[in-house]
């Protein structure tokens, strides 16, 4: 990479951080003057967020999913089952089964009885949809309203913006910036963002609503917005019902004769 390209990338990165922090600081002064939110250290906010992490063994939820990528716009019902740290299972239906997916820490499997095709392999399929690398743990956290990365593993900075705490690593990654907006009431996420300004790529995951079920704060709405040059994906999940710690099954078998998807 040429020297001028490196300088340009650094300039774009620092400009992104400056704009994010500057706009937040103006809001911070207003909030503190009105005593709406208590000032806390980044370490304490991170600790409280991790303490609020989901603490059940299984999830069985019924969702409504709205999908839009500019080419396809569709609403379907989705059954979601999670065995924490083991498997994420999804089944999409619209009169008939549209797709099934089973995701483990090492493998992504998917098939569509509607399209008669399947995928079986690594997490490249999720990267294709979201525009960024994501592993099993991060996908699980995304669905549970938890930060994609462990905010206690790196030293964080905190600002106050729009009546919430915004955490970001003191040393951001070389190619992208990460921001976690944390609700001061229950310390779950309002939003988390991954921004790669040099490539004009951005992933935003928003959690507009939570509800307490069996002593757990669980997101009842998740909005995923992935943007990159010439491409975007928007997925909205609305939770219709959810239960925890019940025995769940995750049946999955790719039918014979289906065409393998190549990414």
Predicted pLDDT at 13 = 45
Q: Quick one: tokens of 106?
A: 């090492």
Q: Tens of pLDDT along 122-133? A: 888 888 888 788
Query: In this prediction, what percent of the chain has a pLDDT beyond 90?
Result: 64
DSSP-derived 3-state class of residue 20: helix
Alpha-carbon span 5 to 124, nearest angstrom: 27
Distance CA 91, CA 19 (A): 41
Rounded Cα gap, residues 54 and 205, in angstroms: 17
140 Cβ neighbours under 8 A, 6+ residues apart: 82, 84, 85, 88
Tell whether the model's pLDDT for residue 8 goes beyond 70: no
Secondary-structure breakdown of the chain: helix, strand, coil percentages, each rounded to the nearest 5: 25, 45, 30
φ/ψ (deg, to 5) at 57: -90, -35
Instruction: Kindly list the distances between the CA atom of residue 200 and the CA atoms of 1, 4, 134, 187, 240, in Å, as whole numbers in the listed order.
Output: 18, 18, 18, 30, 35
Residue 2 has pLDDT above 80, yes or no: no
Report the C-alpha gap between 177 and 54 in whole angstroms.
25
Contact between residue 223 and residue 208 where contact means Cβ atoms under 8 Å apart: yes
Domain 3-260 has CATH 2.50.20.10: yes
Q: What is the mean pLDDT of the chain?
A: 86
pLDDT(15) > 50: no
Res. 17: pLDDT tops 90: no
Encode pLDDT of 147-165 as tens digits. 998 898 889 999 999 899 9
Q: Are 248 and 81 in contact (CB under 8 A)?
A: yes
Looking at the chain, the whole-number percentage of residues with pLDDT higher than 70 is 86
**Mean pLDDT over residues 162-179, rounded?**
85
**CA-to-CA distance for 93 and 114, rounded, in angstroms?**
10
Domain layout of the chain by residue ranges = 3-260
Q: Is the pLDDT of residue 68 over 60?
A: yes
pLDDT digits (tens, 9 = 90+) for 32-65: 445 478 999 999 999 999 999 999 999 999 999 9
Residues making up the chain, counted from first to last: 263
Distance CA 178, CA 169 (A): 7
pTM attached to this predicted model:
0.82
Residue by residue, DSSP assigns 29-73 as: HHHHHHT-S----HHHHHHHHHHTS---SEEEEEEEEEEE-SS-E
For the segment 166-190, the average pLDDT, to the nearest whole number, is 89
On whether the CB atoms of residues 127 and 133 are closer than 8 A, the answer is: yes
pLDDT over 50 (residue 5): no
pLDDT category at 175 given cuts 50, 70, 90 is low
- pLDDT tens digit string along 103-145? 999 999 999 999 999 999 988 888 888 878 889 999 999 999 9
Q: Can you read off the two tokens belonging to residue 104? A: 């483990």
- Binned at pLDDT 50, 70 and 90, residue 95 comes out as confident
Decide if 84 contacts 57 (C-beta within 8 A). Answer: yes
How much is the pLDDT for 30? 37
What local confidence, expressed as pLDDT, does residue 263 receive? 67
Q: Which has more confidence, 18 or 199? A: 199
Best CA proximity match to 221, nearest among 204, 243, 238: 238
């Amino acid at each position: 990479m040429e020297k001028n390209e490196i300088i340009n990338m650094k300039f774009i990165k620092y400009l992104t951080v400056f704009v994010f922090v500057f706009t937040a600081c103006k809001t911070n002064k207003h909030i503190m003057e009105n005593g709406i939110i208590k000032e806390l250290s980044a370490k304490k906010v991170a600790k409280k967020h991790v303490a609020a992490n989901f603490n059940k063994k299984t999830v069985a939820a019924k969702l409504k999913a709205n999908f839009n990528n500019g080419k396809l716009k569709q609403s379907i019902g989705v059954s979601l089952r999670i065995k924490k740290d083991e498997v994420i299972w999804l089944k999409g239906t619209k009169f008939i089964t549209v797709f099934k997916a089973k995701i483990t820490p090492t493998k992504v499997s998917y098939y569509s009885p509607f399209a008669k095709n399947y995928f079986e392999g690594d997490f490249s399929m999720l990267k294709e949809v979201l525009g960024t690398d994501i592993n099993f743990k991060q996908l699980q956290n995304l669905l549970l309203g938890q930060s994609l990365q462990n905010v206690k593993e790196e030293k964080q900075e905190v600002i106050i913006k729009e009546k919430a705490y915004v955490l970001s690593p003191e040393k951001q990654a070389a190619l992208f910036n990460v921001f976690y907006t944390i609700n001061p009431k229950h310390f779950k996420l309002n939003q988390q963002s991954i921004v790669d300004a040099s490539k004009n790529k951005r992933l935003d995951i928003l959690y507009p609503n939570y509800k307490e079920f069996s002593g757990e704060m669980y997101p009842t709405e998740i909005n995923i917005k992935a943007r990159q040059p010439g491409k975007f994906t928007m997925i909205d999940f609305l939770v219709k019902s959810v239960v925890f710690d019940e025995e769940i099954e995750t049946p999955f078998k790719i039918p014979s004769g289906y065409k393998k998807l190549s990414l």
